[in-house]
Structure 1
Amino acid sequence: MFTLEQIKQAYDKVKTGADFTNYIQELITLGIKGYDTITADSRVVYYGADNYEVSTDKKHDDFVIAATPNKERFIEYIVMHQSGQTDYITFCEQAAQCGIAKWRIDIIDMTCTYYSTQGEAIIIEKIPT
């Protein structure tokens, strides 16, 4: 099974959103099937086979999640992040401002789904391979 240390080693190579594809490939190699990022504190829960999971610690004090999603503005933030213009914590704060409570990376389906506080899927992206 994978460990937080192995995940950290893979994540340490990610400097911007542009590095995301290589990160996903390393997670696949480790046996990770997906993970949830909790926007409020940027904690990440990684999932593997047989209900195995590991979770990171909170990365900061909680961001307030906007009650109403702003899909259009969030798309702008996604584009900025994926082109390397923002770091991870900045992106999490922007997601919170746009009403994104969490996002789920499904490595099996190769999708990234962003959810509102009500659990509604706001954006579903295909992960490039």
Structure 2
Amino acid sequence: MSEYDSANRFTVKQIETAHQKVKSGADFPAYIREIIALGVKSFETFVIDSHTDYYGDNGYLVTSDPQYTSLRIAGKSDSERFKSYLKDHQKGGSDYFTFCMQCAETGIEKWIVCTEKMTCTYYDYLGEEVLVETIPS
């Protein structure tokens, strides 16, 4: 797909440009606002390699490339440790890759952001919800 297509749909390159501004979890709300403006309705990020599926209107989907070599996701989730890591990350205490390693360590397989509801839901390897958070606007 070209950088900009005739349907005015977002591209992975546009999303990656917005994401480059994110240095820690503290920057996440501004990133979400920026990709909403691009037309992103939701996205699903897979901890194993951080590839992400971005969804727009009318079934539109683009997928990013993996961001790192595959991580091993723990077979058992540790929700309390995960929540501690997440809290630290949101305060700027870790970078993105460190947070992803911590997710893998605590059994988090993926997260799904719904920009319409402004929620981020974390799932374990069994597909069970571990945590649903409201994204500050």
Q: TM-score, normalised by structure 1?
A: 0.97
Give the aligned residue type for 1:89: F
How many pairs does the alignment contain?
A: 129
Aligned counterpart in structure 2 of residue 120 of structure 1, from 115, 124, 128: 128
Aligned counterpart in structure 1 of residue 76 of structure 2, from 68, 72, 86: 68
Give the match for residue 89 of structure 1.
Answer: 97
Give the aligned residue type for 1:126: T
1:46-104 Cα offsets, whole Å, 9 max, x none, are: 11011111111111111111111100000010011101111111111100100001000
Equivalent positions of 1:30-69 (< 5 A) are 30-69=38-77
**What is the CA RMSD across the aligned residues, in angstroms?**
0.7
Moved over 6 A (4+): none
Long gaps (5+) in structure 1: none
Q: TM-score, normalised by structure 2?
A: 0.92
Aligned counterpart in structure 2 of residue 14 of structure 1, from 19, 22, 41: 22
Paired residue secondary structure (2:32): helix
Long gaps (5+) in structure 2: 1-8
